[in-house]
Amino acid sequence: MSTAGPPQGDRPHWGERREAPPRGERTHPADAPYRPLLTDAARPSTFTVDAVDETGAARATPIAGEHPLTLYVDKQELLTLMTLGAAPEALAIGWLRNQRLVDSIDDIVSVQVDWDVNAVAVTTRSGLADLEAKTKKRTTTSGCGQGTVFGDLMDEIDQVRLPPGATLTQATLYALLDRVRVHETIYKQAGAVHGCALATNEPAGSEILMFVEDVGRHNAVDAIAGRMWLDRIDGGDKIFYTTGRLTSEMVIKAAQMGIPFLVSRSGLTQMGHEIAQKVGMTMIGRATNKHFLLFTGAERFRPATP
């Protein structure tokens, strides 16, 4: 791990540790929860390039963006993520959350993205939790773009407690799949990305609360985790949907976010299946239109009555 600070120059506050307000003190309207100081530095999601089709005709074609984003925390470099760049601040926060390096959004003072140097600087109140111990062991995951998980994959998973009374009806599942089908996505324009959605779970149906796409599904789930922290959204009564396969990494992250229902249009891995069983998660794969396979957590699922 590099300990070099981010690039210096005429950016006076880049990566600078700020005097943090006391925990719980708000720097915005009194009725709003605490939020760190954030930039708003989303990159364009698609770019147009020239291509030639099978007939020899020229076509202006949208393609997905992909940018390196190096994460610095308190001037210490942690890693570089390859990202679409659509939600870089939420991605940085969610990555720290899902790596269990930060315990609460209240511990983050600021998140500053600067695409001139392809970097994001996070300033914390008191440093990262167990950084040296966790970064000694890295697991390269099966995520697109080779995601990295610090520490033991199974650390703290035994402490996860999903809400025991949560249920999902077949009608609600179908409503979610229909919402996803008609949702406007970068994938429909340019392909080459994975999408993740956080959705409501109501008897009358399901609505998409947030939909994030990125070049890797691990980035998309991290960005949603970051937004959930920023907006103080609890996962216990929500559904998580992904276009990607259900690997151990996806199951662990959904469990850490407190979400009892994980749905994918793709398949799953053996370790993903085992962990979902261990934590009592309802995991549904191959879900498109009116078709799905219920793999784990059948006790939470309510099929349609004949």
Find the length of the chain: 306
Considering only CA atoms, which of 168, 204, 201 is closest in space to residue 301? Answer: 168
Same-domain status, 171 and 102: no
**For residues 111 and 79, is the Cβ–Cβ distance under 8 A?**
no
What pLDDT score does 27 carry? 47
Q: What is the pLDDT of residue 55?
A: 95
Residue 54 scores a pLDDT above 60 = yes
Cα gap 194→212, rounded to integer Å: 8
Measured CA to CA, the distance from residue 67 to residue 231 in angstroms comes to: 26
Same domain, 60 and 110: yes
Provide the pLDDT for residue 158.
77
Given 139, 155, 171, which residue is the final one in a domain? 155
C-alpha span between 259 and 299 (Å, rounded): 15
| pLDDT at 163 exceeding the cut of 80 | yes
Q: Read off the tokens for 305.
A: 């009555």
Q: For 270-300, write each residue's pLDDT tens digit.
A: 999 999 999 999 999 999 999 999 999 999 9
Provide the number of structural domains found in the chain: 2
Enter the pTM of the model.
0.84
| 145 and 223 part of one domain | no
d(C-alpha 155, C-alpha 102), whole Å: 15
Same domain flag for 140 and 181: no
pLDDT at 142 over 50: no
Sheet holding 76-83, edge to edge: 37-38, 108-114, 119-124, 67-73, 76-83
Per-position DSSP letters for the chain, written without gaps between them: ---PPPP-SS-TTTTPPP-PPPTT--SS-TTSPP--EE---PPPSEEEEEEE-TTS-EEEEEEE--EEEEEEETTEEEEEEEE--SSHHHHHHHHHHHTTS-S-GGGEEEEEEETTTTEEEEEESS--TTHHHHHTSEEE-SSTT--EEES-TTTTGGG----TT--EEHHHHHHHHHHHHHS--HHHHH---EEEEEEE-BTTB--EEEEEEESSHHHHHHHHHHHHHHTT--STTEEEEESS-B-HHHHHHHHHTT--EEEESS-B-HHHHHHHHHHT-EEEEEEETTEEEEEE-GGGEEPPP-
Q: Give the span between the Cα atoms of 108 and 206, in whole angstroms.
A: 32
Tell me, yes or no, whether 105 and 73 share the same domain: yes
Reported as a pLDDT band with limits 50, 70 and 90, residue 154 is low
Q: Is 23 inside a domain boundary?
A: no
Q: How confident is the model at residue 157 (pLDDT cuts 50, 70, 90)?
A: confident
In a domain, 261, yes or no: yes
Residue 199 in domain:
yes
Task: Tell me: do 84 and 175 sit in the same domain.
Answer: no
Amino acid at 131: L
Boundary residue ending a domain (108, 125, 155):
155
Question: Model confidence over 195-252: pLDDT tens digits?
Answer: 999 999 998 889 999 999 998 889 999 999 999 999 999 999 999 999 989 999 899 9
Whether residue 252 is contained in a domain is answered as: yes
Q: Both 144 and 83 in a single domain?
A: yes
How far apart (Å, rounded) are the C-alpha atoms in residues 230 and 100?
A: 16
Q: What is the sign of the dihedral through the CA atoms of 140, 198, 48 and 44? A: negative
Residue 39's pLDDT is 97
The domain boundary, picked from 117, 134, 155, lies at 155
Q: Which domain holds residue 122?
A: 37-155
Identify the CATH number of the domain in which residue 203 sits: 3.40.140.10
Phi then psi for residue 276, to 5 deg, are -60, -40
Query: Pick from 290, 284, 238: which is nearest to 264 by CA?
Result: 284
Q: What's the CATH number where 55 sits?
A: 3.10.20.10
Examine residue 206 and state whether it is found in any structural domain, yes or no.
yes
| 174 & 298 share domain | yes
* Average pLDDT over all residues of the chain: 85
Report how far residue 132's alpha carbon sits from residue 145's, in angstroms, rounded to the nearest whole number.
24
* Residues 42 and 84 grouped into a single domain: yes
User: Does the structure show a pLDDT above 90 at 129?
Assistant: no
